[in-house]
Amino acid sequence: MTGSVQPRLLRPRALRPGDLVVVASLSGPLPAAYEPNVERTVAVLERMGFRVRRAPLLAAGRRHWWSAATPAEIAAELNALLRDPEVRAIVASDGGQTALGYLDLIDVEAIRADPKPILGYSDISLLHLVLHARTGLVGFHADMAVPGFGGHWQSAPVERRSELERIYFRLLTGSEALGTLPARASWECWRPGRTEGRLIGGVINRIVLAQATRFALPLDRFDGAVLFWEEMGGLASYVWSYLQVMRHAGILDRISGMVVGVPREIDGLEPGASPTLREIVLDVLGDRDIPVLGNVDFGHAGPNLPMPVGVRVGLDARERTLSLLESAMLPHVST
The pLDDT value recorded for residue 7 is 63
Q: How many CA atoms lie less than 13 Å away from 225 in the CB half-sphere?
A: 22
Please give the average per-residue pLDDT across 150-171, as a whole number: 96
pLDDT band at 2 (very low <50, low <70, confident <90, very high): very low
pLDDT band at 1 (very low <50, low <70, confident <90, very high): very low
Q: What percent of the chain has pLDDT over 70?
A: 97
Domains in the chain (CATH in brackets) are: 20-173 (3.40.50.10740), 179-324 (3.50.30.60)
pLDDT band at 334 (very low <50, low <70, confident <90, very high): low
268: left (phi over 0), alpha (psi -120 to 50) or beta: left
Buried b (16+ CB within 10 A) or exposed e, 112-124: eeebbbbbbbbbb
DSSP 85-109: TTEEEEEES---S-GGGTGGGS-HH
The pLDDT value recorded for residue 335 is 54
pLDDT tens, position by position, 267-318: 999 888 789 999 999 999 999 999 999 999 999 998 999 999 999 999 999 9
Dihedral sign, Cα of residue 52, residue 299, residue 207, residue 232: negative
What is the rounded CA–CA span in Å between residue 90 and residue 130?
Answer: 17
What is the rounded CA–CA span in Å between residue 91 and residue 116?
Answer: 10
Which one, of 259, 251, 204, 196, lies nearest residue 223 by Cα?
Answer: 251
Amino acid at 65: W
What is the rounded CA–CA span in Å between residue 48 and residue 70?
Answer: 32
What is the rounded CA–CA span in Å between residue 161 and residue 52?
Answer: 19
The pLDDT value recorded for residue 6 is 55
pLDDT tens, position by position, 37-87: 999 999 999 999 999 999 999 999 999 999 999 999 999 999 999 999 999
Contacts of 57 (CB under 8 A, 6+ apart): 24, 25, 68, 69, 73, 74, 77
Q: Do the beta carbons of residue 82 and residue 107 sit within 8 Å?
A: yes
What is the rounded CA–CA span in Å between residue 52 and residue 309?
Answer: 24
Which one, of 66, 65, 45, 63, lies nearest residue 54 by Cα?
Answer: 45
